[in-house]
Structure 1
Amino acid sequence: MCGIVGLFLKDRALEPHLGALLSDMLVTMTDRGPDSAGIAIYGAPDPVRAKLTVQSPHPGRDFENLEHDLGAAIGDKVEVVVKDSHAVIGVDPEWLGVARAVLASIRPDVRVMSSGETIEIYKETGLPKDVVGRFDIRAMGGTHGIGHTRMATESAVTTLGAHPFSTGADQCLVHNGSLSNHNNLRRELVREGMTFETENDSEVAAAYLTAEMARGKNLGQALDGAVKDLDGFFTFVVGTRSGFGVLRDAIACKPAVMAETDQYVAFGSEYRALVNLPGIETARIWEPEPATVYFWEHEKAA
């Protein structure tokens, strides 16, 4: 079943409250997905630092001395901020790819949740309210974000199986539904050089969009292609460095509702996820049309 939420802020005055607003929306969707939860927050970029957000099943062991060990291995300064089972690793943008490769060698149990200049992804098994609390999401600010509560029906309840999935820099996807051709599509993407952490069909959807954008398409064009190339029923909410997109399949059997005001654009699997947003009583409320791409983007990346 699963529950999806998303919030794209137009009003900069709301940016300090992004984490709190998204958290409330996510927790409201608990009964649509109590197995695991995740949230992606897009914050202001550091002009001299890119970041990897990583997770470990053994954070006490893996994160101890990580700042020193990774910095020594790549020969550059590294900053590590630990948040429960996750850590945010700050590095010079030129060293981001190298740091990721070295990390896999020196800390093989650590998994990368996201990478880029603005994105941080936190996800774990457990109730959404507990996941939100573990990572103090309510205290986080940012420009936009998406979240997901999962009810596992076709795969195990694991941290890696939780959403969002991120397969490209500052890009992520959450998904409600099921794809029927994901195995064939995964094989095609592997032949193109992409790698996968899970058997989850949603990771394939994320990788498909990443591959399409690597070919020079923008997110809107990539989502248009998904209607033709992805078989099954789905609702996608996608985040990029500066944008926020929504797509439903041609049948659109999964529930979805959107709201827009002068301050924000919001998405929820159900309207009740939106009811506590400021100014919701005067918002334009609608159900996104089938096979129709919706996309909002800040004029300049924050």
Structure 2
Amino acid sequence: MCGIVGLFLKDKSLEPQLGALLSEMLVSMTDRGPDSAGIAIYDGGARGHGKITIQSPIPAADFPGLDVELGNEIGAKVSTLVKSTHAVLDVPTDKLEAARAAIAELRPNARIMGVGEAIEIYKEVGLPAEVVKRFEVIAMKGSHGIGHTRMATESAVTTLGAHPFSTGPDECLVHNGSLSNHNNLRRELIRDGMRFETENDTEVAAAYLSSKIAHGMNLGEALKSSLSDLDGFFTFVVGTRNGFGVVRDPIACKPAVLAETDSYVAFGSEYRALANLPGIEDAKIWEPEPSTVYFWEH
């Protein structure tokens, strides 16, 4: 049992409130998964700039001086925003892949949480209220975001085991449910060149989507393919550069609710995650259909 939330803002005047709204939604889901929590915020940066979010178990050793060293390696200016165990590196968009490779050499203890032009991913062990406070999520602005609070059922309670999981540039996944064929699928993906850092079945789902995209599918097609290739119970919420999407397995036994107004589209594992959103009393509220991919994008 886990809790997942998503918020896509149509009304740009609400963008300064994204972090606060999404934090409240996530904290309301605490008793669905108190082990760890994470959030992905999408806030487009300056044109020509990209973001790499990294996490370190020893931030006091890994973060100081990294911007200068990385800038020297890739031949470009790099700036760093440090938030607790995470840091967001601002690099030129055309240097993202070079920077990613250089980070692995310069800071082997660091782990890359997400890469793209807009995405920032923060996740850690602990209650949602502690995690959003630790990373100052309430003060963050943006156009959309997704979040997850986890009850570990098939793998250890670790930072890397927390959601969201990156599925590609500016894309990530959160998951409520359990996959029964993830071990077989993991072996297939390893043969396809994928690497794994946890025993989490959601990491397998994220790698599956990444693999399908790498082989020519778009994300919507990959999600549709998951309905036949992934066995188990699942609700997926995915974040993309321009929006977010939702899909439930063919049985759809995991709870899910969507709400839409002229100002936003919101998702929650339960209605209480949406109850305090502005204008919710006038929203269209419904349960997403099984085996149906929903997308909202700018």
Pairwise TM-score range, normalised by the shorter structure: over 0.9
1:86 and 2:86 equivalent? Answer: yes
Shift of 1:151: 0.7
SS in 2 for 1:235: strand
2:179–2:232 CA contact under 8 A, matched in 1: yes
TM-superposed CA distance for 1:56, in Å, is 0.6
Residue 280 of structure 2 corresponds to 280
Report the secondary structure of 1:76's partner residue.
coil
Residue 109 of structure 1 aligns to a residue whose secondary structure is coil
Asked if the contact 1:168–1:207 (Cα under 8 Å) also holds between the matched residues in 2, the reply is no
Question: 1:70, 1:102 within 8 Å by CA — same for their partners in 2?
Answer: yes
Match of residue 43 from structure 1: 43
Alignment-derived partner of residue 149 in structure 1: 149
SS of alignment partner, residue 236 of structure 1:
strand
Shift of 1:286: 0.7
Contact 2:257-2:285 at 8 Å conserved across structures: yes
Deviation of residue 140 (structure 1)?
0.7
Structure-1-length-normalised TM-score: 0.96
Question: CA–CA distance in 2 between the matches of 1:187 and 1:8?
Answer: 35
Could you report, residue by residue, the CA deviation over 1:102-150 in whole angstroms, capped at 9, with x for unpaired residues? 1111111100000010000000011100100011101111111000000
Q: Which residue of 2 aligns with 1:259?
A: 259
**How far apart are 1:97 and its partner, in Å?**
1.1
CA deviation profile, 1:8-60 (whole Å, cap 9, x unmatched): 11111111111110000000001111111000001123212111000111111
Report the counterpart of residue 30 of structure 2 in structure 1: 30
1-structure distance, mates of 2:224, 2:183: 20
In structure 2, what is the equivalent of residue 70 of structure 1? 70
How many residue pairs align between the two structures?
298
Q: Secondary structure at the match of 1:141?
A: coil
Describe the SS at the equivalent of 1:44.
coil
- Report what 2:291 is aligned to: 291
Judge which range, 184-193 or 278-287, deviates more. Answer: 184-193
Provide, for residues 198-219 of structure 1, a one-character-per-residue CA deviation record: whole Å limited to 9, x for no partner. Answer: 2211011112222222333222
**Cα separation, 2, equivalents of 1:129 and 1:216:** 39
2:123 matched residue in structure 1: 123
1:226 maps to amino acid: S
CA distance in 2, matches of 1:214, 1:225: 14
Q: In the TM superposition, what are the counterparts of 1:171-190 in structure 2 within 5 Å?
A: 171-190=171-190
Alpha-carbon shift at residue 62 of structure 1 (Å): 0.6
Q: Is 1:248 the equivalent of 2:256?
A: no
Unpaired segments ≥5 residues, structure 1 = none
Counterpart Cα distance in 2 of 1:281 and 1:270: 16
Residue type matched to 1:199 in 2?
A: E
Output the aligned Cα RMSD: 1.1
Is this contact kept in 1: 2:154–2:199, CA < 8 A? no
Deviation at 1:290, TM superposition (A): 1.1
Structure 2 residue identity aligned to 1:24: E
Residue pair 2:39, 2:146 contacting (<8 A) in 1 also: yes
Q: CA deviation at 1:221?
A: 1.5
Conservation of the 8 A alpha-carbon contact between 2:4 and 2:174? yes
1:193-212 equivalent positions in 2, closer than 5 A: 193-212=193-212
Aligned partner of residue 88 in structure 2, secondary structure: strand
Q: C-alpha distance in 1, partners of 2:48/2:63?
A: 23
Determine if the alignment matches structure 1 residue 4 to structure 2 residue 9.
no
Quote the residue 1:239 is aligned against: 239
SS of the equivalent of 2:207 reads helix
> What code does the residue aligned with 1:195 have?
R
Decide whether the 8 Å contact of 1:55 with 1:85 is kept in 2.
yes
| SS of 1:82 mapped into structure 2 | strand
Aligned-pair CA distance for 1:196 = 2.1
Distance, in Å, in 2 between the alignment partners of 1:92 and 1:65 is 18
More moved, 149-158 vs 64-73: 64-73
Instruction: Answer whether contact 2:154 2:201 (CA < 8 A) is retained.
Output: no
Secondary structure of 2:94's match? helix
Secondary structure of 1:99's aligned partner: helix
Write the letter of the residue equivalent to 1:295: F
What's the offset of the Cα at 1:94? 1.8
